[in-house]
Structure 1
Amino acid sequence: MKTQKKLIPPHVGNLLKTYYKTNRINKSGLARAMNRNRATVQDYEERKSLQCNVLWDICVAVEHNFFADLAAQLPQTYTTHVPEDTTQAQRIAQLEEENKILAGQLELLKEVMGK
């Protein structure tokens, strides 16, 4: 483990507060969805950190991945066990193959037309 500069952890409550305001999240409705008291949900906004299970419950209730938001604030050089998304690479490969086929068909068409 290398020694790196001290990273300041984000204020999770501020992250939640900003998300609620931007997305017009009703805290009473959120409290009901989480089966918690409205005052408890309001208190989460003031906390610097939250237990993972509490943040998980909020993610599920509002259908937003706050863990990804937090992870995005870490340096790109940090490792992860998240599998790489290969859907774009697969789609590019598929389109390149299709492009080769179409280029071949175009050449054949040019030959048939006598050009």
Structure 2
Amino acid sequence: MKTQKKLIPPHLGNLLKIYYKKNRINKSGLARAMNRSRATVQDYEERKSLQCNVLWDICVAVEHNFFADLAAQLPQTYTTNVPEDTTQAQRIAQLEEENKILKTKVDTLLAVVGKG
């Protein structure tokens, strides 16, 4: 491990509070979905940190990945075990191949019409 400057962890309660406000999350409904009291859900907003299973339950209840939000705050140089998303690269390669085929067909049509 390399020694690096200390990263200050985000205040999870504030992260939740901002998300709830922006997305108009009803805390009573959230509490019911999580099978917890409204006071408990309210308390989460005041906490600096939360257990992973609590954050997981909130993610599931609101269908939002707060873990990804946290991960996005770490430096890009940090490693991860998440597989690289290659769908975009595959789609680009597929479209490039399709483009080559279409160019060939256009050239053929122009040659047949006599404009090539």
Q: Shorter-chain-normalised TM-score: which range?
A: over 0.9
TM-score, with structure 1 as normaliser: 0.99
Query: Any idea what SS the aligned residue of 1:73 has?
Result: coil
Over aligned residue pairs, what C-alpha RMSD do you find?
Answer: 0.5
Alignment partner, residue 10 of structure 2: 10
What is the rounded CA distance, in whole Å, between the counterparts of 2:110 and 2:28 in structure 1?
68
Query: Any idea what SS the aligned residue of 1:69 has?
Result: helix
Residue 31 of structure 1: CA displacement? Answer: 0.3
Q: What CA deviation, in whole Å up to 9, does each residue of 1:91-112 have, x standing for no partner?
A: 1000000000001001111111
5+ residue gaps in structure 1? none
After the TM superposition, which parts of structure 1 deviate over 2 Å for at least 4 consecutive aligned residues? Answer: none
Alignment partner, residue 42 of structure 1: 42
Q: What CA deviation, in whole Å up to 9, does each residue of 1:43-87 have, x standing for no partner?
A: 000000000000000000000000000000000000000011111
TM-score, with structure 2 as normaliser: 0.98
The count of residues paired between Structure 1 and Structure 2 equals 115
Q: Percent identity?
A: 88
Q: What code does the residue aligned with 2:96 have?
A: E
What is the rounded CA distance, in whole Å, between the counterparts of 1:109 and 1:32 in structure 2?
65
5+ residue gaps in structure 2? none
